[in-house]
Amino acid sequence: GEGGNTGEGGNTGEGGTPEEPIVPEEPVLPEGDGSFDNIGEIPEKPDDAPIYDGSGWTKP
């Protein structure tokens, strides 16, 4: 009726839900490093990224 167990979700919410978010958090850190890696590759290959020519990546 009241759905105390379902509403609170102690076992389901605390046990299952938090664990899932924790896994994605790990990739979040690499994303910062990965973004720099991708940016570094762009200036290295100006031919592949002509768009960055105007940005000044190829022309310092």
At 5 the pLDDT is: 56
pTM of the predicted structure, to 2 decimals? 0.10
Q: How confident is the model at residue 56 (pLDDT cuts 50, 70, 90)?
A: low
Task: Quickly list H helices, 4-59.
Answer: 4-8, 19-44, 51-55
Higher pLDDT, 48 or 16: 48
Per residue in 5-32, pLDDT tens? 555 555 554 544 555 555 555 555 555 4
- Amino acid 12 reads T
3-state secondary structure of 52: helix
Please say if the pLDDT value at position 2 is more than 60: yes
